[in-house]
Structure 1
């Protein structure tokens, strides 16, 4: 017999792309586990880029069958409105949808509480998130962009640190944020953080060692769900830079994206302002094959490998390609370590944290660092971690 429900967490999800859909599936499949923990997660609203689907008032949220159908509908490219025939829900279109999210946050924030979960990939949610914070709501982020806006926005979002969780913004499900926070809370100053913060680029770099073409590897990474919707967000180094900025700000650096030296793997003429994502995948990527191949070969002739590395130290950050010895810790990092066991390549991240206590032997966090499933699992863990802030309501 399951224990009584102690904590009910109402959730509004922003973004039902790959990570958002995996999150909803995880919530449904983990019902028995959470029931044994005395926790109930109620999804009361789901928003995509154009509309918001919300549960009817006085309901217990969108039921699991509807959530399953929602995932199938969005995977097939159908709008949220296609689910209206199921009943028990209402649809609001932008800009009314944004107002409804804020209204929901205002009402639930003062009564039962609310967890606003951002699994989108846009800066457009910053205003809603800040409003939710003002309403006393909790915030869980997989979306890195809100934390990399102005420093004032960052301060606002983390002003009540117990009510925000953003583990999945750095290293997918790896406990990087938690580890940094725990070290800092202990009074142990962190002097530097070094590592491969992008499981995606880690996968790309290690696959290149096997002689594969850059364009083929990037397309494979996208098909596996390792890249952002536009792979250039990874290849530009901006995804790594955002993670670096989040970590640097946690260390107390009051810096902005403009303060980070970032090396892009493609030229400006192949950027988002010059061509669409579709054109880049079809004709732009192949233009990079020769130059990347030459860099890989040049490194190999010296007994080195290429790794996309981030270094946070002092008052700044550096992000870009580096040649490293094959037998170094980062050089040995392979994005396809488990290919023999699973027949499925994975993306691996490695983060080294140096502090007074971890100076000669750094704290190392390593594991799968990308993928919708892994990221969604990290988001769900963040949601459950907030359970003690909620109580059961009749």
Structure 2
């Protein structure tokens, strides 16, 4: 049985779902000859870790207790008296995490970042130096300035990040296979936000933007403040990750990012309730006019990322009705990849591109994918 030690950063929805997947897949992984040995878990405030990272593990009942505690909004500190782990807090957390990483070269330790924080990049760059593997659901470490990015990806075989674009969809893997085969990719266009995909397909049916956004919020499709979705920054990060895979030396501030609301309606200017009740309706007519213009051209509107030799941008584009993007409905993601081999008919990847379950499944597959790097 191959034992693969795992350290998890981030106990939000994706992190908790990952722990549950690890526990529920024990018998499947045993048949595959693999055992995932979770040695520690941390959030932004606390770290729980086994006393001996080289041999011990947090057992399954403890992992499920972590999920229960965090789901209830409680602190990891409540697990301090369990007797099966050490608990660290405050400034000790980051230093202890780095200390754990120093053991990575000898153990094949996988650092898994399921947080949504930009603060993990310093730790990740250090553990990469130690020879650890890194598995990311967190997009932010891959969208930092190029100097930090270059260090993180300096050992590409030890980095997996499928779930940073399209959740569990095989976008990164497919793109890497095309690039590795020497097939030049000259264009990528995709709808990479389930929220904005849902919004655009609903307004296409004639519903006002304000009504659709409020409905999406009530259904739980948006962030608590829908402007976090409507601003396009999440899509921009995904686009930047793809562009950098193609060798583009870009930063976020080099990109054109179209927001669906103006600056004067931003979170720092207009309160959320005011935006939902009074701000959004002011945007209805403009979107309606753009939909009518697209329809007159035989097209539909989609909020997409567009990457080619000259551009890396995100925003509303007209796309043909009969294309994969034009047929897109609901909250699915779809990516069209054009290359020499996929010139007239692009490679199309489509499916659920959001959700804790789907994202965590992609992370788990990435963890299992690195096992062959170690004896």
Q: What is the TM-score when the length of structure 1 is the normalising length?
A: 0.88
2:63 to 67, 75, 81: 67
1:89 is the counterpart of 2:80: no
Distance in 2 of aligned mates of 1:234 and 1:240:
8
Distance in 2 of aligned mates of 1:219 and 1:131:
43
Q: What is the aligned partner in structure 2 of residue 10 from structure 1?
A: 5
Contact 1:12 1:45 in 2 (8 A): yes
Contact 2:19 2:63 in 1 (8 A): yes
1:121 is the counterpart of 2:116: yes
2:300 to 272, 288, 305: 305
CA 1:211–1:316: 2 relative to 1, 3 Å: closer
1:191 is the counterpart of 2:200: no
Distance in 2 of aligned mates of 1:226 and 1:95:
35
Runs of at least 5 residues in structure 1 that lack an aligned partner in the other structure: 336-346
User: Could you report, residue by residue, the CA deviation over 1:106-148 in whole angstroms, capped at 9, with x for unpaired residues?
Assistant: 02x1321211111111110000000010000000001111110
Contact 1:260 1:317 in 2 (8 A): yes
Q: Secondary structure at the match of 1:46?
A: strand
Q: Secondary structure at the match of 1:32?
A: helix
CA 1:149–1:217: 2 relative to 1, 3 Å: same
How much has 1:267 moved relative to structure 2? 2.6
1:79 is the counterpart of 2:56: no
Contact 2:210 2:281 in 1 (8 A): no
How much has 1:288 moved relative to structure 2? 4.0
Q: Secondary structure at the match of 2:259?
A: coil
User: Could you report, residue by residue, the CA deviation over 1:184-217 in whole angstroms, capped at 9, with x for unpaired residues?
Assistant: 1001111110111222211222233445554564
1:372 is the counterpart of 2:368: no
Distance in 1 of aligned mates of 2:280 and 2:269:
19
Q: What is the aligned partner in structure 1 of residue 281 from structure 2?
A: 290
How much has 1:294 moved relative to structure 2? 1.9
Contact 2:120 2:141 in 1 (8 A): yes
RMSD after superposition = 2.1
CA 1:31–1:47: 2 relative to 1, 3 Å: same
Q: What is the aligned partner in structure 1 of residue 250 from structure 2?
A: 255
1:386 is the counterpart of 2:375: no
CA 1:284–1:179: 2 relative to 1, 3 Å: same
1:165 is the counterpart of 2:165: no
Deviates more, 1:112-121 or 1:193-202: 193-202
Q: Secondary structure at the match of 2:107?
A: coil
CA 1:178–1:71: 2 relative to 1, 3 Å: same
How much has 1:154 moved relative to structure 2? 1.3
Q: What is the aligned partner in structure 1 of residue 314 from structure 2?
A: 319
Q: What is the TM-score when the length of structure 2 is the normalising length?
A: 0.92
CA 1:173–1:10: 2 relative to 1, 3 Å: same
Count of residues in Structure 1 that have an aligned counterpart in Structure 2: 370
User: Could you report, residue by residue, the CA deviation over 1:65-89 in whole angstroms, capped at 9, with x for unpaired residues?
Assistant: 1111111111111000112222201
How much has 1:296 moved relative to structure 2? 4.1
Q: What is the aligned partner in structure 2 of residue 343 from structure 1?
A: none
